[in-house]
Every structure is written in C-alpha cells, then in structure tokens.
Chain A
Amino acid sequence: MQQDNDKNSVRAQVLDQIKDGSVKMRSRAYFVLRTVLYILGAVLVLLLAIFLESFILFSVQRTGAWFMPGFGFSGWGIFLTSFPWVLLLLVLLFVFILEALVAHFHFSYSKPVVYTILSLVGIVVAAGFFLRASSLHNFLLDKSYEGNLPLAGPMYQHYAAEGDERILIGELQAVTENEVTIRTVEGEILQVRIDEQTRMGRGVEYLEGTVVAIIVDYDNEQMTALGIRPVNRQFDSFSPRNLHRGPGMMHLFTPLNNF
C-alpha cells in the first residue's frame, strides 16, 4: 500500500517537473565536451609525467649521479642523496591523477587498478627514455642559461646545471702516475690527484679522450680521486646522436654529448 502511494507520487512529481521545465535535459554537446575535457586532461597529465620522467633521466645523467652505483657502496650513497626524489614523487602523483582520470572509461575500470597503474608507469617510463634521447632537454637547459625559460628555468638550473660536488664528469686530457687532467662539460680544465687509494678498475685503460666519472674528495682545495670509471658507453646509449636530427640542430647538444 505504502509502495503504491510512493509510486504514484514519484511518477507524478517527476513528470510534473519535466513538464513545467524545472528540470532540463542536458544537451549531447555537454556530454561530448565533458568527455573531450577528460581526455584532454588525461593527455596533458600524461605529457607532464613523461616530460618530468625524461627530465629526471637527463638530470641524473648530466650531473653524473647515474654513474655512481657503478662505484659500489659509496657510489650508491652519492646516487641516493643526489637523486631528485621530489621530481619522482611528482611523476608518481601525476600517474595517480591519470589513473583517476582514466577510471571513468570502461577499458580502465573493467580491469584491476594495479594493471592500469603498471600500464601507465610503463608508458611514462618508455616514452620518458625516448624523450630523453632527443635534444629537448639540452635545448631547454641552454635556454635556462640564457634566462629565456620562464617557468621551467629554475628547475633546470637546480637539478641539471649543477650536481653533487663530489662527482666530476669530463674528458681525459692527460694521465700521469699522480694526476689526471680532465675537461668538464663547461670546458673547465681540472687536475685531480690519484693515489694508491684511488679505485680505477682492473684492466681499464685510460686514454686521452676517454670520458670518465670521478668521485672526488676535497682536501684544502686539492681534489683527490676516490674512484674513476670510464663512462663512454653509457653516454653513447643515451646520446641523441643515433636519432635523426636536422643539421641546424647540432648546436643544441651540450659538449658532453659531443665528446
């Protein structure tokens, strides 16, 4: 009986409100626009995540932190303390925002959340590596040096222009029993002392022109190498030189990539 009363009342009231125009039917365009905005939002967040992820790679490679784990325990310490964790947290935040945005679509909610998140992380990492291989970050870093990068400039200067002072990356200019001379990315010529404590790797030949990563210890303005490793191959694997680029783009690469 109560249910019948509810029914009559519900039907009548809904139809009355439709008839008197107090409830409007939203247009199809409204829903299409909403879906388009969702997609655009998701694409924008995805691009931001890819950009930041590739910038993290660029930053750790350019500052030399990337090569530190190869030095063992002390190298790992330097890597962990100089890694841009804040940027990585931002990337993860973007991935979670992205997951929330795509959760509205059938392809996402019909699968466990962990699949969506892993797929998004995979896309961001793969695309980030690809973007890192392009000249974009070198170009933007140059712009930041010139002061022509208003928004991202401070980020480039903070995370990519200068790294941990214990790390040196440079091209060997000369090697003696007590000293190596390197030319850094900035073109600076530096002498670094080597002694019996310096770990140089067994059977490694250090020739002029080899690009090396050095962990240094400062003692009264004198730099002593705690460890030296060649990094040519690693640089090659991330160098944009294998990708197609126009002849006018050569100036976009930092000297580091052109050693």
Chain B
Amino acid sequence: MAEQKQTKTDEELALSVQHGDKELFGELITRYEDKMLRYASRFLQSPQERQDIVQDIFLKSYSAIQSFDSNRKFSSWLYRIAHNEIVNLLKKNSRSPLNFFDPETFFPHPVSHEMPERDLEKKEIEHLVAGSLKELDYKYKEVLVLYYIEDMDYNDISEILKIPVSTVGVRLGRGREKLKQLIGGKQ
C-alpha cells in the first residue's frame, strides 16, 4: 500500500482524493510540506506565521481539491493557492496597500530567449534570493523565488501567477537587475 502511494504521481493521488480516498491527501502533504514551508519562508519572517500559512494552504487545497483538473500539474495548482494565501496575508499585514496593478501584464512583450543566468551566475542568484532580500518588490521576488528556488519553468510560473509568459520573462529580467542594483548599493 505504502509502495503504491509512492509510485503514484501527484495528479493520480489528487484524483484518488477527489474520488473519496481522503487518506491519500496525507501523502500529498508529505510531498509538499517542505516545499511550502520553504516557499513561505521567503516572504514571511515569523515561524509561527509560516506554519499557520502552510496549514491554511493545505486546508484550502483539501477543501478545493474537486476544482483541480488532473490533466494539469498539481504543483502549479498548489502553488497558486499558496500565492493567493501569502498575498492575502501580506495585504492584511501591510500598512500601505500592495500595488498589484502591473503595466508589465498590460502590454505585450517579446518572450526573451536569453539565458537568464548570463549576467549573474545561477548559483549566485539562488544564494541572493534565498537570503530573503527584504528590499526587493514582492512581484519580482516571487518570480525569482519560483524560478530559482522552486525550479519552476516560465509556463508553470505563468499558471501560478496568472500572468502572460512574456511578463514572467520581463519580471525575471527586471528582478535580476534590481538584485544587481541592491548588491551594488550594499557594496
């Protein structure tokens, strides 16, 4: 039984949960709790807040599991819920409202085929993003985190944030530029 659980894909597990095998939701938690805690830790400082938000993410995902389309990636669907929960919490905690209107999503941009790690080494960027740079805008930080830490591709990030693929490229590029500026300013 345990072996059967482990051989199933995330999508198959989610489908089984949808069909009433609630126990298998535990396996999904096991697979994603580390990732969710790591993801939350990039945006939230307090361990208690991180624990609460990850708990909320899994409770929300259980409640909404019937809306999951098993032809799509479970990870993108779960990260979408995580993104919404974290944004809501940040909005609640923020004195000034977070501005999520973004002209980058409004106008078309060519999809960049440039390797993002050309200017800064990937490892270096991962290290910098992992360092929870508080100064970086949320919209850039989350794209950098998803790309460099969570190892998502452009399409996954587009699905999670519900923004065009070209905008993912633009934010990634600008995020790296801002990181460079921040590093330059500190040195």
Contact = CB atoms under 8 A, between A and B. Distances in A.
A103 B162 contact: yes
Query: At the interface, is chain A mostly helix, strand, loop or mixed?
Result: helix
A112 interface: yes
Interface string B12-27: 0000001000100110
B52 to A, nearest CB: 9
A112 B55 contact: no
A14 B64 contact: no
A13 B53 CA distance: 12
A104 to B, nearest CB: 8
Contacts of B166: 112
B67 interface: yes
B66 A112 contact: no
Contact of A26 (B34, B64, B163): B64
A10 B62 contact: no
B33 interface: yes
Interface string B158-172: 100011111100000
Interface stretch (A16-24, A148-156, A219-227): A16-24
Given A109-B164, A112-B167, A10 B63 contact: no
A27 B66 contact: yes
Contact of B108 (A17, A24, A103, A112): A112
B32 to A, nearest CB: 10
B58 interface: yes
A15 interface: yes
A10 B58 contact: yes
A220 to B, nearest CB: 56
Nearest to B54: A10
Contacts of A103: 162
A25 interface: yes
Interface string A18-44: 100001111110110000000000000
Contacts of A18: 22, 25, 62
A251 interface: no
B62 A25 contact: yes
A24 B29 CA distance: 17
A14 B55 contact: yes
Interface string B49-76: 0110011001100111111000000000
A106 to B, nearest CB: 8
A31 B67 CA distance: 6
A193 B178 CA distance: 72
A9 B33 CA distance: 11
B105 interface: yes
Given A14-B55, A112-B107, A6 B50 contact: yes
Interface of A: 2-3, 6-7, 9-11, 13-15, 17-18, 23-28, 30-31, 103, 109-115
15 contacts: A3-B34, A3-B37, A10-B29, A10-B54, A14-B58, A18-B25, A23-B62, A25-B22, A31-B67, A109-B164, A110-B158, A112-B107, A112-B109, A112-B164, A114-B108
Q: Please provide the 4 A-B residue pairs with the shortest distance between their CB atoms, ordered closest to farther.
A: A31-B67, A109-B162, A28-B66, A112-B108
Given A31-B67, A109-B164, 7 more contacts: A6-B51, A6-B54, A11-B26, A23-B63, A25-B62, A112-B106, A113-B106
